[in-house]
Structure 1
Amino acid sequence: MNRESRPSTSTHAIVAGVVTAVVGFTSSFAVVLTGLDAVGASADEAASALFVLSVTMGVGTIAFSWRLRRPVTMAWSTPGAALLAGAVAPEGGYATAVGAFVVAGVLYALTGLFTPLARLVRAIPLALANAMLAGVLLGLCVQPFRALVDEPAAVAPVLLTWLLLLRVARRWAVPGAFAAAVVVIVVTGSLAAVDSADIAPRLTWTAPGFDLATMLAIGLPLYLVTMTSQNIPGAAVLASFGYDAPMRPALFYAGGATVATAGLGGYSINLAAISAALAAGPEAHPDPARRWVAGVSAGTTYLAFGPLAAAVAAVTVAAPTGLVAAVAGVALIGTFASAATSALGDPGHRDAAAITFVVAASGVVAFGVGAAFWSLLAGGLYLLVMRRPVQA
C-alpha cells in the first residue's frame, strides 16, 4: 500500500467502526429496553442499563482490538434481551432478575476458565438452542403487526420505512425504522412529555436478589442463548476473516463485567456476532492487519453512546403505544429467521427442535420457571427417550 492511499483507507476503517457501533446500537436498543421492562426494570434502571452496557462494550472493544491488533468487537446480547422480553416478570421483582444476570456472568467467566464447561455447552445440540431462541422470538416478532392494527397511523410509517430499506440498503433497515419512529414521536407531540431532567446521564444501582426459580428461568437460559447465539458465532465470524477469536479472555471479561455491573443493569455482554463482520470484513480495510482500527473506532463510538442512554430511554417511554414494540419486533425478524432455519434445518434434531420451539413459544410457566427452561428440558427429554436403545 502506498503512502498516498494509507490516510484514505485508515479513514475508511474509522468510518466502518462508527457504522458498526451505530448499526449495533440503533438496531437493537429497543429490544434491550423491552427486555428490561419485562423483568421489572423502571425507566431509570433501563437507562442505567443502556449507559453501563455501552461503556463496557466500548471498553472491551477498544482493549481487545488495540492490544491484539484484531477487529474484536463486543456487544450486548440481543438474543438475551429477547429472552428477557419473553420471560415472565419474576415474583421477587427486578432485584431477582439482577441476581440472574450475576449468575449468567459467573457462568461466562467459568466457561472461559474451565475447558470442560465450554465442552459441555458445545455438547448441547445447536438445533435445540436455536429452537428455544426462535420460540421466544415468535411472540416478539408478531408485535409490530398487532400494533399496526391498533395504532396504524403511528406504526405504518415505521414498517414502510423498514420494508423499503430492506430493498435498497438492508444494513440500515432497522436504524431507519428507528429514525421513522423518532419522526412519529416528534409529529405526535410525544416529546412534550419528556422532562429535561430525564435525559441527564445517570446510573441506578439495584442490589441483586437470588431466587432459584429466577435463576432457572432467566439466568441459565440467558447464559445458554448468549453462548450459542453470540459468543460461538462471534468467534466463527472472526475466523471466517482469518482472525483467531480471544475466546477465553473475552469470556472472562464479559463475565467479570456482567457480574460487576449487573446491579446497574448490565445484563450481558459478549463477542459481537451479527455486527462483527462490519469491522472485520474487507469493507473496513483492504489490509486485514489494519482492520483493528475499525474495532477501536467502534469501541470509541459505543463509549460516546453511553451519556445518551437516558435521553434514548426517555424518548422511548414517551413514544405512542406499540411504537417501541414495533421497532423491537422488526429488529428481531432476521434473528428469528436465522434461528428457525438452523433449528429445523437439521433432520437429525428436527422433531426435538420442533418440540423445543413449541414449548418456548407457548409461554408456559410452571413452579415459577418460564418456558425457555422447560423448552430445553422438553427437547432434551425427547432426544434422551428416542435415542436410548429399546430393550428386547
Structure 2
Amino acid sequence: MQHDIPAAVSGNPRHPSWPTFSAGLLAAVVGFASSFAVVLQGLTSVGASPEQAASGLMALSISMGLGGIVLSLWHKMPISVAWSTPGAALLATAAAPASGFPAAVGAFILCAVLIVASGLFRPFGRAVSALPAPLANAMLAGVLLGLCLAPVEALANVPQLALPVILVWLVVSRINRLMAIPVAVVIAAVLIVMTTDGAKLDSTILSPEPFLISPVFSLDAAIGIALPLFVVTMASQNIPGMAVLNANGYRPAAQRLFWSTGIFSFLSAPFGGHAVNLAAITAALCANPDADPDPKRRYWAVIFAGIFYCLFGLLAGIATSLATAAPPILIEAVAGLALLGSLAAATSAALKDEDMREAAIVTFLVTASGTSFFGVSGAFWGLLAGLGLLGLSRLAPRLSASRKS
C-alpha cells in the first residue's frame, strides 16, 4: 500500500539527527510525567495493589515505547504511541469490580480485542466511527470532571502541599504549557519526600517486577469498564492521533495502526496495563518541522522517545512509591491539573453541534454523577442515555410526519 510522505528537505533519512533526539526526549518526558499520576490513580481505583499498579505502569511504558519504535520503523513515519490517559481517567472514576483487579484485567483484554477488531474488520470500524462525536466527548467530559475538581479539594484539605504545586503549575504554564505538569510533578515529589521524611516510602516496590495477573471475565466489568474504555480510547486518542499525522502530511493506513496498537494493548493487559493507542500531543511534538526539517527523518524522534519510555518504565516503582506515600487527594490534584486541557477540549466538542447539544448534556450529567446501576459505571449509562435521547429526538419528527400523511 502506498503511503504519502512529505518531500524530503535534506540529509539522509536513515540517519538520526540532534533535533530528532531532543524532540524524542521532550515527548517522552511530557508523555510520562504529565499523566502517570492519572494512570496510577485509575489502576488503584479498580482494585490494583501498589505492586500491581507499578507493574501496570511499567508494562504500559514499555508497551508504548516498543509500539512507537516498531510502527515508526515499519512505516518510516513518526507514529507515536501513548497510554490511554482518558481511559485511565475513566478507571479513576469507576468502582472496583466485584471480582477485584483480575476482573479489571479481563476488561483490559476485552478492550484490546475490540481495538484489534476495529482495525481488522472494516464494518466494525465503520460502526465505531459512526458513534456521534459529541456524545463520546460528553462522556469523556463527564469522566474528567471529578478529577478536575480535585485541585480545589486539595487546596481545602492539604493546602501546604497543594498550593505550591498549583502555583508552580500556573507560573510554568504561562511560560511553557507542555512543561507545566512535569515541573509540578517534580515539586509534588519533593514535597512528598520532605513531608514524609522517607518514612512512608514503600521500598518493596522501588524496583518493580512484572506482575502477571490471571484475568477474570465478568459481565459487569465488560460493560462498565471494557466498553467505555474502548470508546474513549478510540474517540479521544486513536482518531485524533490519526488527525495529527494527517495534519503533518503523513497518510498511514488507519486500520493497520488501530489493530497494531490493539496488539500492544493485549500484550500489556495481563501485567496490569489498561490500554495503549495512537498519541496526539506527543505525536505533534515528533511529527512537526521542529523535530527535523526533513519530514522523512522525523520517525527517529519517535524511536528515541520509545527508548526513553522503556527506560522510564524502570522508574515505575519510584513513581508508585511516591504516589502511595502522598495524600490521595494530592495525587488526584496533580492528575486533575494534567486533565484540565482535555476537559476543556471535550466539553467544547460535546456542545459544538446544536442539534446534539441536549443529548450531549444528558450524557455528561449521567456520566459525571458517578451513579452506577447493576454494578455498571455511570460512563456506560451516560452514553446509553444520550444515544436514547438522540434516537427519540430524531424519531419524533418522522412519527409526526407519518401521522399527518
- TM-score band w.r.t. shorter chain: over 0.9
Give the number of equivalent residue pairs.
Answer: 391
Please tell me whether residue 46 in structure 1 is matched to residue 20 in structure 2: no
> What residue identity is the alignment partner of 1:355?
V
Please tell me whether residue 76 in structure 1 is matched to residue 53 in structure 2: no
Match of 1:288 among 260, 270, 295: 295
Q: Partner of 1:101 in structure 2?
A: 108
Deviation string 1:67-98 (CA, Å, 9 cap, x unpaired) is 21111010000000000011122112111111
* 1:51-200 mapped onto 2 (5 Å cutoff): 51-200=58-207
Q: Distance in 2 between matches of 1:93 and 1:190?
A: 32
User: Alpha carbon RMSD of aligned pairs, Å?
Assistant: 1.8
* 1:3-22 mapped onto 2 (5 Å cutoff): 10-22=17-29
Aligned-pair distance for 1:61? 0.5
Q: Is the 8 A contact 1:190 1:318 kept in 2?
A: no
Q: Partner of 1:207 in structure 2?
A: 214
Q: Distance in 2 between matches of 1:151 and 1:158?
A: 11
Corresponding residue SS for 2:374? coil
> What residue identity is the alignment partner of 1:53?
L
Please tell me whether residue 390 in structure 1 is matched to residue 384 in structure 2: no
Deviation string 1:101-144 (CA, Å, 9 cap, x unpaired) is 11100001111100001110111100000000000110110011
Match of 1:316 among 305, 319, 323: 323
Q: Is the 8 A contact 1:129 1:224 kept in 2?
A: yes
Corresponding residue SS for 1:260? helix
Please tell me whether residue 249 in structure 1 is matched to residue 256 in structure 2: yes
Q: Distance in 2 between matches of 1:255 and 1:29?
A: 20
Change (3 A) 1:190 1:81: farther
Q: Distance in 1 between matches of 2:248 and 2:200?
A: 47
Q: Distance in 2 between matches of 1:236 and 1:87?
A: 29
Q: Under a length normalisation based on structure 1, what TM-score does the superposition of the two structures give?
A: 0.96
Please tell me whether residue 36 in structure 1 is matched to residue 18 in structure 2: no
Aligned-pair distance for 1:250? 2.3
Change (3 A) 1:106 1:149: same
Q: Distance in 2 between matches of 1:145 and 1:245?
A: 42
Q: Partner of 2:6 in structure 1?
A: none
Deviation string 1:36-91 (CA, Å, 9 cap, x unpaired) is 01100000000000111111111111111122111101000000000001112211
Deviation string 1:190-217 (CA, Å, 9 cap, x unpaired) is 4232243321131112111111111111
Q: Distance in 1 between matches of 2:333 and 2:157?
A: 12
Match of 2:380 among 365, 373, 385: 373
Deviation string 1:290-331 (CA, Å, 9 cap, x unpaired) is 111101111111111111111111111112342211110100
Deviation string 1:331-372 (CA, Å, 9 cap, x unpaired) is 011100000000011112111101100100111111111100
Change (3 A) 1:290 1:2: closer
Q: Partner of 2:342 in structure 1?
A: 335
Q: Partner of 2:270 in structure 1?
A: 263
Q: Partner of 2:284 in structure 1?
A: 277
Q: Is the 8 A contact 1:190 1:320 kept in 2?
A: no
Aligned-pair distance for 1:252? 1.9
Greater shift, 314-323 or 348-357, is seen at 314-323
Q: Is the 8 A contact 1:154 1:320 kept in 2?
A: no
Q: Is the 8 A contact 2:78 2:286 kept in 1?
A: yes
Deviation string 1:158-184 (CA, Å, 9 cap, x unpaired) is 100111111111111111110110121
Aligned-pair distance for 1:242? 0.2
Aligned-pair distance for 1:9? 8.5
Change (3 A) 1:191 1:320: farther
Corresponding residue SS for 1:369? coil
Please tell me whether residue 239 in structure 1 is matched to residue 256 in structure 2: no
> What residue identity is the alignment partner of 1:365?
S
Corresponding residue SS for 2:211? coil
Greater shift, 22-31 or 202-211, is seen at 202-211
Change (3 A) 1:68 1:2: closer
Change (3 A) 1:217 1:321: closer
Q: Which runs of 4+ in 1 moved over 6 A?
A: none
Corresponding residue SS for 2:375? coil
Corresponding residue SS for 2:165? helix
Deviation string 1:11-60 (CA, Å, 9 cap, x unpaired) is 01111011001100000000000000110000000000011111111111
Q: Distance in 1 between matches of 2:362 and 2:339?
A: 21
Corresponding residue SS for 2:315? helix
Q: Distance in 1 between matches of 2:253 and 2:46?
A: 32
Q: Partner of 1:355 in structure 2?
A: 362
Aligned-pair distance for 1:289? 1.2
Give the unaligned 5+ runs of structure 1.
none
Q: Distance in 1 between matches of 2:111 and 2:16?
A: 40
